[in-house]
Amino acid sequence: MIDELKEIHFMRSVIVALAAGTILGGCATRSADIVPPAQTAMAVPTEPVAAVAAVEKPEIGTFGFDVAGMDRSAAPGGDWVQFANGTYLRTLEIPADRAAYGMFTRLDELSRERTREIVEASAKSNSPVGTNAQKVGDFYNAFMNEAAIEALGAAPLVEDLAPFQSASSKSDFARALGDSLDGFGPGLFPFYINQDAKNPERYIPVFLQGGLGMPDRDYYLSADSKLVDARTKYVGHVAKVLTLAGVASGQAAAKARAVVDFERKLAQVHWTRVESRDDDKTYNKWSRADFASKAPGFDWNAYLNAAGLGQQQEFIVSQPSAFAGMAKIIAATPLQTLKDWAALHTARDAAGVLPKAFVEERFDFTGRVLSGTPELEPRWKRGVSAVNNSIGEAVGELYVARYFPPETKAEADRLVRNLIASMDTRLANLPWMTPETKTKARAKLASFRAKIGYPDKWIDYSTLTVAPDDAYSNFERATAFEYRRNLDKLGEPVDREEWFMTPMTVNAYANPPMNEIVFPAAILQPPFFDPNADDAINYGGIGAVIGHEISHHFDDQGRKYDAQGRLTDWWTPADVTAFEAYATQLADQYSLYEPLPNVFINGRLALGENIADLAGLLVAHDAYRLSLGGRQAPVIDGFTGDQRFFLGHAQIWRNKYREAALRQQLVTGPHSPGHFRPYVVRNLDAWYPAFDVDPQNKLYLPPEQRVRVW
């Protein structure tokens, strides 16, 4: 997950071989085709009127929406985001330690403040050794002890680099690479343990292309001047990191150029992100022998044995041609360059628990250059994130007890049930889907499981040792613990109780092989959900989020999984043809949006998320209407029920980006930038009469151009 941004995320599993994990902001940049003309605003209230009485006051405004954040001089049909969020976005200053800021970020700050209280209380409690409180407290104390980290210097890193530096052959390098995966190790061929997509009752290792130090292949290959500039600065960054790691031997610049050239060659054979999100194309089952025959040039046996996969005979290789190309490149690359590459990535991975010089150099490139963030986060924020990322469920149990009352869970359960019922009604009445596929789709929906708030079973950290004075080793032990915990799944029954996010995470995910949707406690708060807010706001906020995750199981990739979570062809050809026509229509619609000059949204890369946004909002609106029980929605502060619903949805996407972060989002992100996501309303018939949008307005779409996939 990307620390600077928070986003609804289509998550399938946790990647255990990647030691460092890396989420949606927005800004006021407008798309080229939706710049509003000079127009008058539609007939919504300009003066507040009496609100409907509530039992308790909502956290935001009189009914759960920040009316003051609107710009009522804009016409909703001219620029919907400006109308709903313009004043808020105009006055919003992104904090100096953030690449972007929005409602997800706002809740993330709250979550970290609350977690800080828990963590610091544990740090002062002198809890018995072996308890979760002791481990949480000592992990945080060790991270915060900068003097001890400075005193150790680079010695722990040098120890980790020794197997690479002493390698006398490419086989030795492959062995060191596999052996390093349970600590601060470079991810050339990372893997994670996941359900076998075509046999979801068993686990299998899933391998991915890796090896790059910049966010995407485009950063190495694109002619975009901004990416060329980042590429140039990356060479200098590599040289500085190698010097800090003590392996440059006075030749830092030359070594850096060789390492970056190696990565550039890897980028040339990498699959694009659009190719890599096709679940059919990325399902390639290889035997152990297939690695040597299909990707010669790398000692796969040495790598797999050292990685703890010595007995494993079957694997999924996500990008087979990339593996073949990468193995060939490795075979042709000097061993010393491979050693320098390993030193670079190990040092960058471990930088957070190394001396200040490492921390600042990594941030200077990944923060300032790639994301445009002026300042490094305060150490306490990084400390809280470190604890959450390493032993998060040890904190989560305490967080839930303090901040997630049973009433919130019960109300979220009710909303989920309503949203699933609304999705079922949509499936039952879908005009383009054949009866055969419709029956199977509804059976899949009926088998859904929704996980709300927190896991019923917590991870047992009893075998993990945490010391109060050794941050580096604590991280390595925690990484090794998680790595081994995931390897131990192989050959065991699939654990359907497992969560891949902590309760403190402001996010949500859908997991097709599990046929589940998951909503951590921290997202079930204002502006997404407030039990004292008007129902229309909650349905437009968390309702759309819930609908989004439900519909991920029916987006262009999720639809490929059946009711048992199997990746299989269960749609008729006629259904596939009809669906793909709608998907192309939506991809083309989003590809016209231009968040930066001459940089457009990649409609194909963001297709799954945009389908989920559209379906989620449709289903949430249906559910809101059904919740009225046939009654007319009350008018509150002059706003009708439908107006409040759509404003509540726009409110959760109040986002602003720094330019570099927005550019990175457009290159790498599977989501449209946050401040463009409210424009999905253009496809909902109900939005037009709610705000008097007519053909004279820029955002108006004729009925036949509105995407009606769900």
Q: Is 22 part of a structural domain of the chain?
A: no
Burial class (CB in 10 A: 0-12, 13-18, 19+), 168: exposed
Q: Is 368 part of a structural domain of the chain?
A: no
Q: Is 318 part of a structural domain of the chain?
A: yes
Q: Is residue 348 domain-shared with residue 394, that is, in the same domain?
A: no
Q: Residue 681: which domain range?
A: 32-112+384-705
Contact 406, 695 (CB under 8 A): no
> In total, how many domains does the chain have?
2
Q: Is residue 443 domain-shared with residue 543, that is, in the same domain?
A: yes
Phi, psi of 509 (to 5 degrees): -155, 160
Distance CA 99, CA 365 (A): 13
Burial class (CB in 10 A: 0-12, 13-18, 19+), 52: exposed
Q: Is residue 441 domain-shared with residue 539, that is, in the same domain?
A: yes
Contact 464, 135 (CB under 8 A): yes
pLDDT at 55: 56
Half-sphere exposure of 366 (CA within 13 A, CB side): 23
DSSP lists the bridge partners of residue 285 as 316
Of 354, 376, 401, which one is at a domain's C-terminal end? Answer: 354
Q: What is the CATH number of the domain that holds 343?
A: 1.10.1380.10
Among 476, 471, 475, CA closest to 149: 471
Contact 643, 690 (CB under 8 A): yes
Two structure tokens written together for 520: 């951590």
Q: Is residue 90 domain-shared with residue 188, that is, in the same domain?
A: no
Contact 544, 495 (CB under 8 A): no
What is the phi-psi region of residue 202: left when phi exceeds 0, alpha when psi lies from -120 to 50, beta otherwise?
beta
For residues 288-322, b (16+ Cβ closer than 10 Å) or e, as one string?
bebbeebbebbbbbbbbbbbbbeebeebbbbbbbb
Distance CA 685, CA 511 (A): 30
Q: Is 23 part of a structural domain of the chain?
A: no
Residue type present at position 28: A
Q: Is residue 510 domain-shared with residue 567, that is, in the same domain?
A: yes
**Which residues of the chain are modeled with pLDDT < 70?**
1-55
Q: Is residue 544 domain-shared with residue 682, that is, in the same domain?
A: yes
Q: Is 542 part of a structural domain of the chain?
A: yes
pLDDT at 27: 31
pTM recorded for the entire structure: 0.91
Write a three-state SS string for 288-342. HHHHHHHCCCCCHHHHHHHCCCCCCCEEEECCHHHHHHHHHHHHHCCHHHHHHHH
Q: Is residue 344 domain-shared with residue 389, that is, in the same domain?
A: no
Among 263, 257, 251, 313, CA closest to 288: 313
Distance CA 157, CA 245 (A): 7
Q: Is 136 part of a structural domain of the chain?
A: no
Q: Is residue 338 domain-shared with residue 388, that is, in the same domain?
A: no
First vs last C-alpha separation in the chain: 29
Burial class (CB in 10 A: 0-12, 13-18, 19+), 172: middle
**Which residues of 150-213 form beta strands (DSSP E)?**
191-196, 199-207
Residue type present at position 413: D
* Look-up of token digits 């009708």: 640
Half-sphere exposure of 620 (CA within 13 A, CB side): 33
Q: Is residue 71 domain-shared with residue 193, that is, in the same domain?
A: no
Q: Is 372 part of a structural domain of the chain?
A: no
pLDDT tens sequence across 201-225? 999 999 999 999 999 999 999 999 9
Q: Is residue 349 domain-shared with residue 390, that is, in the same domain?
A: no
Of 339, 354, 369, which one is at a domain's C-terminal end? Answer: 354
How, if at all, do strands 509-511 and 516-520 pair?
A: antiparallel
Q: What is the CATH number of the domain that holds 620?
A: 3.40.390.10
pLDDT at 249: 75
DSSP 8-state class, residue 222: -
Distance CA 27, CA 81 (A): 10
Q: Is residue 388 domain-shared with residue 350, that is, in the same domain?
A: no
Residues 232/269/19/666 CA torsion (nearest 10 deg) = 60
Of 313, 332, 354, which one is at a domain's C-terminal end? Answer: 354
pLDDT at 56: 84
Q: Is 178 part of a structural domain of the chain?
A: yes
Question: How many Cβ atoms sit within 10 Å of the Cβ of residue 665?
Answer: 29
Q: Is residue 326 domain-shared with residue 189, that is, in the same domain?
A: yes
Two structure tokens written together for 694: 């007519």
